[in-house]
Structure 1
Amino acid sequence: MNFALIGAAGYIAPRHMQAIKDTGNDLVAAYDINDSVGIIDSISTNCSFFTEFEYFLEHAWRLKRQGERAIDHWVVCSPNHLHSAHITAGLHLDCDVICEKPLVSTPAQLDELRQVEQATGRRVYSIMQLRHHPAIHELRDKVLAEQRDGQYEVELTYITARGPWYLASWKGDSRKSFGVMSEIGIHFFDMLHVIFGELKRMELHHHDERKAAGFLEYEKARVRWFLSIDAEDLPARLRGHHSTFRSITCDGEEFEFSSGFTDLHTVSYREILAGRGFGIETVRHCLETVYALGQATPEAPRVDEAHPQLAAVLAAQDALAASQR
């Protein structure tokens, strides 16, 4: 099958390109406003490339008129605030669309995409690769097997160190990325729903451009969560050696899953092409969670609902405020 990709110069695009190649398909067209896309040659030397969207779209329509060269799948790896427009363009080109998370920024935009799906007869699939991670399967199976009446006590910690470039890029602009909870957290809110059931209550305890923390109560779990792009939040044993730390503890038992992410996009593609992709309604709940948290006002946590790392964050915040008086 023929694939076209939007956002070819971005951080995540090479994983999509490799997944296209690994599943035996062809990348035939790509677009990005930046031209640092030499990685394409390792995937295909016959991929047309454009730096202006209008020319890219015109090329896609031309291929559509040529029958066997028509694009089958339209891949969206562009900045988050452009997803809705780029997904819609792909659907109207009679393509199924594969999009990086988050699909869009609001539940209302999801409803609009659903209408376009129905009008075109095509589908939108979100990449939620964490659902394919072995450690997550292990924890889900544990919860299903135990069938306990009470709730689990869960701590979720995700720290992925990012340098100054991050805040200088579109990712650091909340109008484009929708903030750190959406950009790095939406996978984890999706995972929590899959493992622990429906969300019953939420609280936001802290939120700034580099980190966020809060509490979520699900059917089967009480979850204290912490997300950060600040290297200072990494465990001391990892600083200077690793830039990422992902951990879930469930009743004190740790399910550490910092590794095992390298080929999950390829797994995701195989599932999508086999008809088992994650569509709009499947991922609606996690987008609704992120949207609601984004609208919330941070509040002081109860002692048993605060993530352990929150105290240090709030102390640093108070110290900074005091120094600026």
Structure 2
Amino acid sequence: MKNFALTGLAGYIAPRHLKAIEDTGNRLVAAVDPHDSVGIIDSYFPKASFFTEVERFDRHLEKIRREGNGEAIDYMTICSPNHLHDAHIRLAMRVGADALCEKPLVLNPWNLDVLQELEEEYGQRVWTILQLRVHPSLIELKKKIDAEKSEKRHKIRLSYITSRGTWYHYSWKGNEEQSGGIGTNIGIHFFDMLMWLFGPAQNMELYVREKNRMGGFLELPNADVEWFLSLEPEDIPNNADDSQRTFRSINVDGDELEFSGGFTDLHTRVYEETLKGNGFGIDDARPSIELVHKLRTMPITENPKGIVHPSIQNLK
């Protein structure tokens, strides 16, 4: 049994990590969040220590490390806001733990270089959550692509719409300096997935960059990709369920890849692989972090073919 600590306990994604820690037969010994709406912990680890100040959390973890009574943490799960990830990763290594961090690992590519140096210095590992790589449908697609003998170029259309209300823009998620913006905050898993399937980005164009929408074109070694991200409920296709607030679509060579289901236990699967030493590290995360950083800073180009927005309209 491994001991975990967790940062960002009050956040949206923390329950998936609590479940994964429990499902893999491990335990949470301490958690921190500046907000105290963390009653969810009672369903998993009611005896875990809880702090609202990271300084006291840090002191507690150092204390139990030095006591040597079996309470010291082995892993720190990081669910805090994106701009705090690298600081909390450094905290994990200082107290002798591996870091297991939600996406994105960091906001800027150069921070990855420092973390790799710290891995060597402390003898700890930095892991991240790239859960689409363990989705059964996508694993089958990768096997099919890897088995192809021809040099076929695939035509991909990716659409991800996840409706968000007014609150979103008043939270850290709506602050680009803290979240990295829509491409980083909601798109990074999909960019990682695309490059995992079809190879690293060779060329890219950006056609739409709004507060709530982003879309463009990616040229990969084995695929041409039209992609669109949105937080706007009006972009949900008309043929979707009226109650549906999230829409995911990957169209590969004209065929829809069914992967809307199967998301429930992906974090647990990533935990299982990480605990076996087969998780996703800094080198796995680097290509998508470099890509979304470029998307935040590159100029908008003309869209003469009318792709991206029309691709969404065609789904309606």
Structure-1-length-normalised TM-score: 0.93
Q: Report what 1:43 is aligned to.
A: 44
Once residues 110 and 208 of structure 1 are traced to their aligned partners in structure 2, the CA distance between those partners, rounded to angstroms, is 27
Is the Cα contact below 8 Å between 1:199 and 1:217 reproduced in 2? yes
C-alpha deviation, 1:66, in angstroms: 1.8
The 3 A distance-change label for structure 1 pair 239 and 209 is: farther
| Partner of residue 188 from structure 1, selected from 184, 187, 190 | 190
Is the Cα contact below 8 Å between 1:244 and 1:258 reproduced in 2? no
Secondary structure, counterpart of 2:202 in structure 1: strand
1:271-302 CA-partner distances (Å, limit 9, x unpaired):
00011010001111111111111111111124
What amino acid is the match of 1:264? L
Q: Report what 1:164 is aligned to.
A: 166
1:23-72 CA-partner distances (Å, limit 9, x unpaired):
00010100000000000011112100000111111000011012111111
C-alpha deviation, 1:138, in angstroms: 2.1
C-alpha deviation, 1:99, in angstroms: 0.2
1:60-102 CA-partner distances (Å, limit 9, x unpaired):
0011012111111011100000111111111111100000000
Secondary structure, counterpart of 1:130 in structure 2: helix
Q: Report what 1:77 is aligned to.
A: 79
Q: Report what 2:296 is aligned to.
A: 294
Q: Report what 2:35 is aligned to.
A: 34
C-alpha deviation, 1:310, in angstroms: 6.4
Give the stretch that moved more between structures: 150-159 or 266-275: 150-159
Unmatched segments (≥5 aa) in structure 2: none
1:105-151 CA-partner distances (Å, limit 9, x unpaired):
11110101111111000000010001011121122122122332131
The 3 A distance-change label for structure 1 pair 153 and 302 is: farther
1:1-325 superposed matches below 5 A: 1-67=2-68, 68-238=70-240, 240-303=242-305, 306-309=307-310
Identity percentage over the alignment?
Answer: 49
C-alpha deviation, 1:308, in angstroms: 4.7
Unmatched segments (≥5 aa) in structure 1: 313-325
Structure-2-length-normalised TM-score: 0.96
Is the Cα contact below 8 Å between 1:246 and 1:256 reproduced in 2? no
What amino acid is the match of 2:258? E
> How many matched pairs?
311
C-alpha deviation, 1:311, in angstroms: 8.3
